[in-house]
Chains A and B, each alone.
Chain A
């Protein structure tokens, strides 16, 4: 259960690593019940473990998690990976308020980058990963335009991922890059790719240049 050691007030003071904020917005609506939810939970767990195996990435990656399942829940405020001891398991229920979840995610990302600037901590382009198996059931058009604009200005990498019958057109509206469809329930493969991408970003000496990411062929489908 709740096992996060939250950022202490000294975290932005003592740790000199440039930060890579990574916010996961996860659809935990009722349609994710059963195997998809189990695979998603296992994938998030594998992601955290893989990041923590790479000391440089563990000091650099700050993970946040917001779920959209019936209501919007901030499961994890931004926390440096090295300070996360174990991951909470999410359960599936209700509709998919993805628009509100994305709104909260963008607010949190803007707050966090403002905190970095205030503390004199360099940062890589933050990542916002949104995973859904359906369509948003609330208002999402305005927030999708906001996310897309930030991606266009290269202030953020927005990565939409569709599962099974997801509406890829709606998910694609959140980003300048088209949504990718997960091959089956390969959450684990996706999250291992994400951790490899985070490792590559955090190993980079450049906080301003685009990083060449690993191929996505282990988890995406046409």
Chain B
């Protein structure tokens, strides 16, 4: 069991005392540093280090080679090697992300508690910033692979976005390929379903599909694009390209969801429809990151000029849609 007050050393042999344990993840634990509030340490579990410590160490070293000043501000990138008291590599130090998980923003019942006064303009602002960070990673040859709203932090008071848990990212450094060995089927495009995550080569088109799910979930306050009334689970619907929204909106879940959808500009709705229907099968049909960025930037202008409503429709606010979309 990890205890407070454990000591680690950096690559120069400087001893640091760990503070509070902040998280217990699937592969390791995150600790605060006692004398640096802005720095945290990821300490892999002994069994993980035993099984694939060398592989992790090589990948983290490759990531450290890639870092640049901009990236380390927007992404909690591995910065400093960390060793235990036996001088064995056990993880890395990185800057600590500020803010609230995007999962709380993309939730009809929780967003007001975590993001007081949230409106569409702010949601769109976070999403634009998120796309910019992903584009920045793509330019460095890095793919996120495992898209998860809990790995994106948003500052409620500003438009700042920071990505965490980046040691799983896919990258290519000096001719060596490092896969993203994790993921979730609910966020993975059809062409990669059923394949072990570590054997997948993520592409700009697969990234665009997963990113579109993140955008949809935020703009739709938590709804997954493949939640369908009377249908199968989201993964089966995803494999079939069964997207309920679009013309007629048949099989859209009851409630305010269709109203939320209808509030989006037509151009953005079209991009979702194409990405989640024909784009489910044909990767080149998917909207690209620059297209999303342009569309959302235009939408933000429309929101700020008053051309589009900034108000987020809350749950239970639409009786009308319940009648319209009852089967």
- The residues of A with any CB-CB pair to B shorter than 8 Å are 10, 13-18, 55-56, 59, 82, 117-123, 203-209, 212, 214
Contact = CB atoms under 8 A, between A and B. Distances in A.
A13 B321 CA distance: 12
Contact of A208 (B103, B229, B233): B233
Nearest to B256: A14
Interface in B20-67: 24, 26
A15 B108 contact: yes
A205 B316 contact: no
B108 A56 contact: no
B148 interface: yes
Contacts of A212: 26
B253 A121 contact: yes
Given A18-B224, A120-B252, A121-B253, 10 more contacts: A10-B315, A15-B108, A16-B107, A16-B227, A17-B109, A55-B110, A117-B232, A205-B186, A205-B187, A208-B186
A16 B222 contact: yes
Contacts of A117: 230-232
Interface string B129-144: 0000000000000000
Given A14-B109, A55-B104, A118 B230 contact: yes
Contact of B227 (A120, A205, A209): A120
Interface in B97-117: 103-104, 107-110, 113
Interface of B: 24, 26, 103-104, 107-110, 113, 147-150, 184-187, 220-224, 227-235, 244, 251-256, 315-316, 322
Contacts of A214: 24
Contacts of B150: 203, 205
B101 to A, nearest CB: 8
A11 to B, nearest CB: 10
Contact of A206 (B149, B184, B244): B184
Contacts of B108: 14-16
B107 A207 contact: no
B298 to A, nearest CB: 27
Contact of B185 (A13, A16, A208): A208
Secondary structure dominating the interface of A: loop
Contact of A207 (B109, B233, B315): B233
Nearest to B106: A16
A199 to B, nearest CB: 10
A15 B109 contact: yes
Contacts of A17: 107, 109, 222
Nearest to B185: A208
A29 B259 CA distance: 51
21 contacts: A10-B255, A10-B315, A10-B316, A13-B253, A13-B254, A13-B322, A14-B108, A14-B255, A14-B256, A15-B109, A16-B223, A17-B222, A18-B224, A119-B254, A120-B228, A120-B230, A203-B103, A205-B150, A206-B184, A206-B185, A208-B233
Contacts of A14: 108-109, 255-256, 315-316
A120 B231 contact: yes
A58 to B, nearest CB: 9
Contact of A120 (B110, B222, B251): B251
Contacts of B251: 120
A18 B256 CA distance: 17
B255 A13 contact: yes
Contacts of B322: 13
A15 B104 CA distance: 12
Contacts of B228: 120
A55 B316 CA distance: 20
Contacts of B26: 212
Contacts of A206: 184-187
Nearest to B187: A205
Contact of A122 (B103, B234, B315): B234
A70 B292 CA distance: 62
Contacts of A121: 227, 253
B107 A59 contact: yes
A20 to B, nearest CB: 14
A17 B185 CA distance: 17
A59 B111 CA distance: 12
A206 B185 CA distance: 6
A211 to B, nearest CB: 9
Contacts of A118: 229-230
